[in-house]
Amino acid sequence: MPDFTILHNPRCGTSRNVLQFLRDAGIEPEIIEYLQTPPDRQRLREIAAASGQPLRALVRAKEPIHAQLGLDDPAVDDEQLLDAMLTHPVLINRPIVLAGGRARLCRPSETVLEFIQTVRG
């Protein structure tokens, strides 16, 4: 079985729920508290590519800093988004689960169940 990793914020209810779903499925993932240990620029690019989603899909638009930085402007490119995410890790949406060369933003929490099935085959 592939190793699972979760980019986790223990203060986030959705993130805690996803971690519990993983554990209930018999998976003890590597837990990366991304606010303490944020991924670097290349890793964020890799996560976006593995998710099959544009980088913008991994940006947490609900954070006040998102609007303050004008990140909702479609003219903001991936490099600018990456700069913002690296400077303000709170802009990295969560929880993101990685396994088997894939990544999934697990919002709502139940999304992780389908991801587990997909990865396990």
Q: Are 56 and 66 in contact (CB under 8 A)?
A: no
* Cα 54 to Cα 103: distance, rounded to the nearest angstrom: 12
**Annotated catalytic residue 106:** no
CA neighbours within 13 Å on the CB side: how many for 54?
7
The residue length of the chain stands at: 121
Catalytic position from the list 1, 3, 12, 69: 12
* Cα 7 to Cα 39: distance, rounded to the nearest angstrom: 9
**109 CB contacts (<8 Å, ≥6 apart)?**
14, 17, 18, 21
Positions marked active-site: 12
